[in-house]
Structure formats: structure tokens, C-alpha cells
Amino acid sequence: MSLHRHTPRLGRLVIYTILILAAVFYLTPLYVIVITSIKSLQAIHLGNLLSIPLHPTLQPWREAWSSACSGATCQGVQVYFWNSVHLVIPAVLISTAFGAVNGYVLTQWRFRGSDLFFTLLLIGTFIPFQMVLLPMAWVLGKIHLQNSIAGLVMVHVIYGLAFTTLFFRNFYITIPRELVKAAMIDGAGFFTIFWRIMLPVSTPIFMVTIIWQFTQIWNDFLFGVVFTSGAIHPITVALNNLVNTSTGVRRYNVDMAAALIAALPTLLVYLIAGKYFVRGLTAGSVKG
């Protein structure tokens, strides 16, 4: 009896030990980044990578956030941070709005060729970034949006439409078409049905799409480095330039602070809206 009594406890102990070791393994780099960002250069050069700073300082954060600019380049990441903010907000909102309407049309307002249209959109989710660089550059040049935040917004909206449409289509296909038909009989139009019936139940999938698009656009490096230059760069490109163009003594504390500044927005988005993410992803898994 005692053996059977202690077996569940032993199993839980093993599971907790494995989970704690895994958490320590994955959180150690974050710990190193955080403590390095509040150390002085002298403390870093002593070689105590994991040691807690005896005299923490926020000077590396102030230097990383510096907005001092000379010509087309800036020392800190403040200008580039706001570039990314001005890029992400409209790109996420526009691509999510169009994806919601597309998903609504493809599930509740079927038309000739809708299956082919959806298939082509689905193929678009497998197209790598590199395949669209030259066509996008040609289009941006033709409409005079090269090297601009507006042009980069358009690039991310177009590339993200396939994903946002797929998310909303898989969610809306679970909603009974009888609701739409009943609303049509009562005289409701296209946007009335969308606004009164679809949107009230779409919060989980909106959160999934917003988190997905926000993360993809904020963390993007390739489109940013190809379609912008100088002070127009998003923060990911600026962070790479900050780390790789340092002259003289390498300022690891400033680099780590800049990396944390670049990572904070996506972390906050997951903390605020993360509970909707799994719920929205599994919402369309029963039907369709």
C-alpha cells in the first residue's frame, strides 16, 4: 500500500523537476540579457556573466533609447521604435479588417470561383518572403512609395492577407449559415449581417489574428532592410545595425538594453491578449 501511495508523489516530483529544469534552461538567456542591460561596462568586463550587478544602472537603457541623429542615421533606437509603431498599427488593422471580410464572404456569401480563390489564397501562405521582393520593389517604385513607412505597410498588408483570410475563414465556417439566411430574409444586408452577427462572436479570432500579425510585422527584418533605408528603418533593422556597427569598445550592456526595448511590445501583446490565442486557434477545429 505504501508503494502505491508514494508512486504518484514520485511521478509528480519527477515531472516538476523536469519542468523546473526546462524553465531554467529557457529563461537563462533572458536573465543574462536583463542583468547585462543594467550593468556598467566595467562590471561586464570582469567576466561575471551570471552575477547580479552590485551597482545597477539605467544608463545603458538611456543610451539605447537615445534619439541623437546625424544625417540619415540615429545612435539609439527611439526613432526606429516609433517607425515600427507607425508601421505595425495600420498594417495589423488593415490586414485584419480585410481578412475578416474575406473570410466572411468565402463562408457565408459563396460565389462562382470562391473555392479557387480560397485555394490561391491558401497557396499564398506558403510563398516565402524572398519570392516577392523583386515584384514588390517594382510595384513600390511605380507608385512612388519606395523607402517609406506607407510602402512597407502596403507590403505587409498584401503579404498578410492570405494568413488573415485563412484564420477568419476557418472560424466563420463553424457559424451556421441558417443565421445568415434568417437575417437576409429579415432584410439585413451584407454589412449589417457582418456587423450584427459575425463581429460579436469574433473576438477570439480577432485576437489570434492581431497577435499573429503584430508579431510577424514587428519582428520582420527582411522586408524592413530591403524596402527602407536610413532613418526609415524599423527597429529590427536598427537593432542589427546597432550591434554590428559598434566601433571601439563593444557596449554589450547597451546592445542588451536595445534588444529588450525591441522585444517589449510583442511581450506585452502576448501578456494582455494571450489568453485568447489558443481559444481562437481551436475555435475552427471542429468543422471545416
C-alpha cell at 24: 531554467
pLDDT greater than 70 at residue 284: no
What pLDDT sits at residue 276? 72
14-66 pLDDT, tens digit each: 899 999 999 999 999 899 999 999 998 888 876 677 788 888 899 989 988 97
Q: In which region does residue 47 sit, left (phi positive, over 0), alpha (psi from -120 to 50) or beta (all else)?
A: left
Helix 133-142, helix 149-172: angle, nearest 10: 120
If one looks up domain 69-282 in CATH, what number appears?
Answer: 1.10.3720.10
| pLDDT confidence of residue 6 | 58
Q: What sections of 173-234 are H helices per DSSP?
A: 177-185, 190-193, 203-219, 222-227
Instruction: Pick left, alpha or beta for residue 187 (phi over 0 → left; psi -120 to 50 → alpha; otherwise beta).
Output: left
Per-residue pLDDT band at 181 (split at 50, 70, 90): confident
Alpha helices in 38-144 (DSSP H): 41-45, 59-65, 78-108, 114-124, 133-142
Number of neighbours of residue 147 by Cβ within 10 angstroms:
14
Do 86 and 149 touch, CB atoms closer than 8 A? yes
User: What does pLDDT average to over the chain?
Assistant: 85
Task: Tell me the percentage of the chain whose pLDDT exceeds 90.
Answer: 38
For 249-268, what is each residue's pLDDT tens digit? 678 888 899 999 999 999 88
- pLDDT tens for 63-96 read 889 766 555 566 788 999 999 999 999 999 999 9
Provide CATH 1.10.3720.10 ranges for the chain. Answer: 69-282
pLDDT value of residue 288: 42
